[in-house]
Amino acid sequence: MMTSTTGTRDRAITVPTAATTALELRHVVKRFPGQPPVLALDDVSLGIDHGELVAIVGPSDSGKSTLLNVMGTLDRPTAGIVAVDGVDTAKRSDDEVAGIRSRKIGFVFQQFFLLPGMSAVDNVANGLLYQGVPLRERQRRSAEALDRVGLGHRLDHPPNNLSGGERQRVALARALVHHPAFVLADEPTGNLDSRSTEAVMALIRDLNDEGTTIVVITHDQAIAASLPRQVTVLDGRIEADTGRPTEVVRP
Ligand code: ADP
Ligand code: MG
């Protein structure tokens, strides 16, 4: 098929023919027990297509972390459906969900969570540990992922010899190394200065241009505004959603 793009952000979204979304939440409720109980997510429905780059934005206490945990299958909702790449997780055991998580989801956190005594390449190779990939293959794929984030020349550096921006790039490589259905990034620039923030956000946009589905959770309106779709969370509900980018139909 012939393709063309008209502007930098007006790029093609390749909509897969299979009717699966990368992530689908339907009528998700999360209630925390207590006196009184907290309704942290109140009937949240949200679909994210393969190839999207989405910001989830909201103020403190709006429910972003709870939503991240539910989207990332780290926590089960009180009610509602969470489907990862077309698989309804409610119908799966905890062990099965852990397997889905390790294969289908990549995580990036504000605090990087890299192991300090270990080289960048080994940190990234850790992302393949639970998939039975042999060591040599893990290291080969890890080097490839680091190359993708522009750190091919830093393979043997431990994180403590890297800048904050470079550490987050290692974390992005680790999130990508197993080719997940989507990456969840929780305040990925929260610990970075403004220059590294720009570099990491540019990398996130590049990775998305290459086809990676990425969800960025942030309280930062400017970061959210720089992404093609913004979902605004307030008091546990979706207050606004600029929507999936319309499919570009080519002549
Ligand atoms: P955000 O990440 O946007 O700051 P959270 O998802 O952390 O928001 O919290 C949403 C609401 O749920 C808050 O009122 C918070 O106090 C409450 N909450 C979050 N986690 C728990 C928990 N484990 N137990 C009880 N209340 C919680
Ligand atoms: Mg939070």
Distance CA 4, CA 6 (A): 7
Nearest residue (CA) to ligand 1, atom 14:
61
Any residues with Cβ below 6 Å from ligand 1, and which?
32, 34, 38, 40, 58, 60-66
Average pLDDT, the chain: 90
Question: pLDDT tens-digit profile of 181-230?
Answer: 999 999 999 999 999 999 999 999 999 999 999 999 999 999 999 999 99
Nearest residue (by CA) to ligand 1, atom 24, is 32
- Residues 1 and 250: their CA atoms lie apart, in Å, by 9
* Pocket probe mutation, ligand 1, options 29, 30, 38, max atoms within 8 Å of Cβ: 38
What residue's CA is closest to ligand 1, atom 7?
65
20: confidence class by pLDDT, cuts 50, 70, 90: confident
Which residues are within 5 Å of ligand 2 (an ion), measured at CB? 64-65
Q: Are 63 and 236 in contact (CB under 8 A)?
A: yes
pLDDT digits (tens, 9 = 90+) for 163-184: 999 999 999 999 999 999 999 9
> Which atom in ligand 1 lies closest to the alpha carbon of residue 38?
26
Q: What is the C-alpha separation between 122 and 7, in angstroms, rounded?
A: 38
